[in-house]
Amino acid sequence: MSDTPDSAVRTYTEQHRTAFLDDLAEWLRIPSVSAQPEHEGDVRRSAEWLSAKLKETGFPVTEVWETDGAPAVFAEWPSDDPSAPTVLVYGHHDVQPAAREDGWSTEPFEPVIRDGRMYGRGAADDKGQVFFHTLGVRAHLAATGRTAPAVHLKLIVEGEEESGSPHFRDLVERHADRLAADAVIVSDTGMWNETTPTVCTGMRGLAECEIEFHGPGQDIHSGSFGGAVPNPATEIARLVAALHDADGKVAVPGFYDGVAPLTDTERALYAELPFDEADWLHTARSRAASGEAGYSTLERIWARPTAEVNGIGGGYQGAGSKTIIPSSARAKISFRLVAGQDPDHIEKAVRAWAEARVPAGISHRITFLPATRPCLTPLDHPALRAVAGAMGRAFGQKVLFTREGGSGPAADLQDVLGAPVLFLGISVPSDGWHAPDEKVELDLLFKGVETAAHLWTDLAAALR
């Protein structure tokens, strides 16, 4: 070829644009809603459709993997260079529920293209973002003249992400050998906005607990006994109030042990993002920003661990009044964790902190749910530079960096496979994930194709 690789990728992508969009639309017509039992067959059909499409794309190995829930799809395309590194791409083929009457302008499972966007459930989350890898790898081969990718390429596309990935960790553990990789590319996130390409460098972890306080053996009369015995509702409130110090830091001793500090480089990069606090508050449906002293809003949600009360309850909550001292009260508290924090250590620290605060006359029970680890790839990691570089080539502009405040199954991949996790997402906040009129911007979708096409060459070099 006489083209530069970049223009060759663009040309190939443009030539296959129509067929690619037709294929994506066909996939979006399968209502693979994992949360709704009536769509169980559709989720399976979606897995089979994807498996066949990956075979057609050229993956020599494509398999539908069973779980105790919905099936996942695995595909593998070994490099023609035996010494090439191995890269695993993660995505999911299930989607959120959707119905026209929820407020969709058109049928959610009848995709349409309007104003340079494809509308349909799963267009952005996550079928569109899985699917750009199919044309991406073909463009990669076409532009480089290779017959196989520059990396050993693997895909794992699960079918239960929208239901909380209940069987994903088990799946990864059972197939750890076949999933083994030098890096994981997660394509299930987004970028800052339509004009600001960004790479996400990590997600927070999650430790969740419920703390119950039990006082009197039953609700007792607040006139007869009020002021003379411990009140579990008051005591649980005191515990919750002690959760943060005056600076908004989590006051649990040991909570910050090991926390990877936010580097000046990263703070400077975050500060380059076109962040508008008023817009952000509008999205958060909140009237004020608050939190840990010394950190910006983005730093607070991305790079700092937090404790939030998800629910609190005890005693009478109906209309009017009931003059009781409640028998019990409870709080559900979740901790978002950042790199360097260990969920087991957090559980121990929270238990010790809470138990030291249980007053005489109150018994307690603390229950932790299975935790999700944080994941973070350092800014100077060669694989991360490769992802940002490939994205920069596709977009033709500087790529900035973000993190995600939420938590996800990506951490299981990092954890079980011991590989760095990198996020390549081209969705934007206006795409309407989980909402009516979900869409994907076609220009960005094809930037995703181009990024994927460049990525295998760049990653092969970076990881060598």
**Interaction between residue 317 and a second copy (CB under 8 A):** yes
Of residues 196 and 327, the one with the C-beta less far from a second copy: 327
The residue range among 19-27, 75-83, 219-227, 345-353 that interacts with a second copy, by the rule CB under 8 A, is 219-227
Site for a second copy in 284-303 (CB under 8 A): 284-292, 297, 300-301
Nearest C-alpha neighbor of 365 from the set 211, 260, 145? 211
Applying the rule CB under 8 A, the residues between 13 and 72 that interact with a second copy are: none
Select the residue interacting with a second copy from 18, 68, 241, 268 (CB under 8 A): 241
Q: Check if the beta carbon of residue 358 is closer than 8 Å to that of residue 369.
A: no
Under rule CB under 8 A, residue 193 binds a second copy:
no
- Output the smallest distance, CB 11 to a second copy, in A: 38
What's the rounded Cα separation, in Å, for the pair 89 and 75?
A: 10
Question: Looking up tokens 């007053």, which residue turns up?
Answer: 359
Q: How far is the CB of 341 from a second copy (least distance, A)?
A: 14
CB 432 within 8 A of CB 229: no
Question: Of 326-345, which residues contact a second copy (CB under 8 A)?
Answer: 326, 329-332, 334, 336
Looking at the Cβ atoms of 355 and 443, the one nearer to a second copy is: 355
Residue with tokens 């997600």: 203
Decide if residue 217 touches a second copy (CB under 8 A).
yes
Q: Which amino acid is at 109?
A: F
Q: Which of 306, 377, 402, 427 binds a second copy (CB under 8 A)?
A: 306
**Can residue 455 be called a binding residue for a second copy (CB under 8 A)?**
no
Burial 169-183 (b: 16+ CB within 10 A, else e): bebbeebeeebebbb
Matching residue, tokens 């449906």: 285
Question: Does 356 engage in binding with a second copy (CB under 8 A)?
Answer: no
CB of 374 to a second copy, least distance (A): 11
Which token pair is 340? Answer: 């360097």
Which positions from 167 through 186 interact with a second copy, judged by CB under 8 A? none
Tokens of 72: 């996942």
When binding is defined by CB under 8 A, the residue of 103, 253, 261, 361 that contacts a second copy is 361
Nearest to 407 by CA among 367, 440, 374: 374
Among 71, 215, 409, 432, binds a second copy (CB under 8 A): 215
CB 388 within 8 A of CB 188: no
Closest separation in Å from C-beta 231 to a second copy: 6
Residue 319 burial by Cβ neighbours in a 10 Å radius (0-12, 13-18, 19+): exposed
